[in-house]
Amino acid sequence: MSAFPGSIAFDEYGRPFIILRDQDRQKRLTGVDALKSHILAARQIANTLRTSLGPKGLDKMLVSSDGDVTVTNDGATILKMMDIEHEIGKLLVELSQSQDDEIGDGTTGVVVLAGGLLEQAATLIDRGIHPIRIADGFELACRAAVEHLDKIAELFPVSASDPEPLIKVALTTLGSKIINKCHRQMAEIAVNAVLAVADLEQKDVNFELIKLEGKVGGKLEDTVLVEGVVIDKTMSHPQMPKELKNAKIAILTCPFEPPKPKTKHKLDVTDVAKYKELRQYEQDKFKEMVDLVKKAGATLAICQWGFDDEANHLLLQQNLPAVRWVGGPEIELIAIATGGRIVPRFEELSPEKLGSAGLVRELSFGTTSDKMMVIKDCAKSKAVTILVRGGNKMLVDEAKRSLHDALCVVRSLIQDPRVVFGGGAAEISCSLAIAEQADQLASLEQYAFRGFAEALDIVPLALAENSGLSAINALGEVKSIQAQTGNSAIGIDCMFTGDNSMRNQHVIESLKSKRQQFLLATQLVKMILKIDDVRSPNDQRG
């Protein structure tokens, strides 16, 4: 039976063409109808994320096809795990991912803002304004908003000797996360990790030197920052020492096994003598490899590949502790931290290529046999590892995502040490400035400017709604205070402190993150407003 919903006919020249079933009832949306359909799809996704915005935002539980459960309020994670089929919905997923890749924070806010812009665009289309004029107006308004952000931004002190201002920004980032029960501790860990690997003169942070490792068990409060490398491995033999001081480490990417011919071959062992000869050859090769490692002065071998029990036993006899099956990224991190070289052949091993570490030891967890290995006091101790603990895998994963956001924000501040105030304060200030500019425009773009100003209000509105406040009243009150005083630090009091000043509450956001949100959301909306039809490449319908 054919799976194709139609039949094939032939014209007078014998060329086949397809007759689709129910073709008279099939519709294709084009023009304004298609635009409204796209806007509706995008707004539905934005509204799903809207309830996760802010410190009082709600988490989403996502269940994969395999039954794995994820609980998170990270916008990029939610969208990535949602099974979205609509083409415009997929664009929003990419929008959130772009924000995550570039900044690491603000993934929910950028989608909510895009949803607000599309909502205003739908209203303007209903009033008869052409989508291209709306898109151009939004772009001009975005440019004005970014310029206003630069005006209200404040310079931020970034210093390794005084990390407190950075900790306050990390606290703002972590305020909306599930791990805010150990809020201060996590913020300090994130800041200390970034400062440990940051080059403040070059304003650069090498993220590859920060490793996030999770282990189920214990409490969130047991999360620690290790100045060194933690790997989820143990010594290859249970009788090898669990602690090594002043270790000289050989970092190997060659396996402990006899060399094999690279051609297809067949080996016939016909008698006991030949078998003994083969066995002796293997033993000699193993011993030769171990001797080369010992001769170089290594007291610990870390191998990317495995080795069999015979080689393992020989390593134990020769008093050479070893770790096997260490992954590529970990191998590179160990090499950077210990100052060692990755060696691809035993013959190339020499004392200069060994890494050094003050302490290598195994960590044991709880009543289970779970163990990890920590390499501390490295020769070049720039590499750090955050070891995240938690009661279950779901909590550990969410804590890792939250810490990643905080690390990214601290990095952004080192690269561009300017901040704006959170709680919707920056959006309200930009909204007032753009609405004022709209009154001075004589062209049709003034409507798009007012629409952009109203779209910016969606962020403080969502914050107020999620905090259980009367959203319109809270927004009206804050806008009134900002308009009268010109104080761009007045925002929504989500934590009910009785003070609307985000300066006093230390609710601070990176200027770089906020600018990126405005620019990305506007670019996406402009792209959507220029799409009036969607068709597959092989679609021949008119």
Checking if the pLDDT of 394 tops 90, the result is no
Parallel/antiparallel/unpaired status of strands 6-10 and 204-205: unpaired
| pLDDT (average), residues 35-55 | 88
Q: Give me the active site residues, please.
A: 74, 107-108, 405
Share of the chain above pLDDT 70, in %: 91
Lowest mean pLDDT of 6-10, 63-67, 409-413, name the range: 6-10
Residue 464: its H or E element: helix 458-466
State the pLDDT confidence band at 4, using cuts at 50, 70 and 90.
very low
Checking if the pLDDT of 103 tops 70, the result is yes
Task: Output the pLDDT for position 276.
Answer: 82
Q: Structure tokens of 280?
A: 């002796």
Checking if the pLDDT of 145 tops 50, the result is yes
Task: Output the pLDDT for position 38.
Answer: 85
Task: Output the pLDDT for position 19.
Answer: 62
Task: Output the pLDDT for position 536.
Answer: 56
pLDDT in tens, 203-228: 888 888 888 988 888 888 888 888 88
State the pLDDT confidence band at 260, using cuts at 50, 70 and 90.
low
Checking if the pLDDT of 6 tops 80, the result is no
Q: Who wins on pLDDT, 490 or 378?
A: 490
Radius of gyration of the CA atoms of the chain, in A = 30
Q: At 238, phi and psi to the nearest 5? A: -65, -20
Q: At 515, phi and psi to the nearest 5? A: -60, -45
Q: Structure tokens of 227?
A: 């100045």
Residue 149 is which amino acid?
Answer: L
State the pLDDT confidence band at 261, using cuts at 50, 70 and 90.
low
- What are the counts of helices (DSSP H) followed by strands (DSSP E) for the chain? 17, 19
| pLDDT (average), residues 493-509 | 86
Find, among 330, 369, 360, 351, the residue nearest to 240 by Cα.
Answer: 360
Task: Output the pLDDT for position 306.
Answer: 80
Checking if the pLDDT of 339 tops 50, the result is yes
pTM of the shown model = 0.80
| Dihedral sign, Cα of residue 109, residue 472, residue 170, residue 153 | positive
CB within 8 Å of 198: residues ≥ 6 apart: 160, 204, 205, 411, 414
Residue 288: its H or E element: helix 272-295
Checking if the pLDDT of 254 tops 80, the result is yes
Checking if the pLDDT of 31 tops 80, the result is no
Residue 72: its H or E element: strand 69-72
Mean pLDDT rounded to a whole number for the chain: 85
Find, among 22, 15, 28, 39, the residue nearest to 530 by Cα.
Answer: 39
Task: Report the alpha-carbon distance of residue 245 to residue 247 in Å, rounded.
Answer: 5
Checking if the pLDDT of 130 tops 80, the result is yes
Mark out the alpha helices in 3-69 (DSSP H runs).
31-50
Q: Is 186 left (phi over 0), alpha (psi -120 to 50) or beta?
A: alpha
| pLDDT (average), residues 142-167 | 88
Checking if the pLDDT of 541 tops 70, the result is no
Residue-range domains of the chain with CATH: 27-155+421-537 (1.10.560.10), 228-380 (3.50.7.10)
Half-sphere exposure of 274 toward its Cβ, with a 13 Å CA cutoff? Answer: 5
Task: Report the alpha-carbon distance of residue 469 to residue 215 in Å, rounded.
Answer: 38
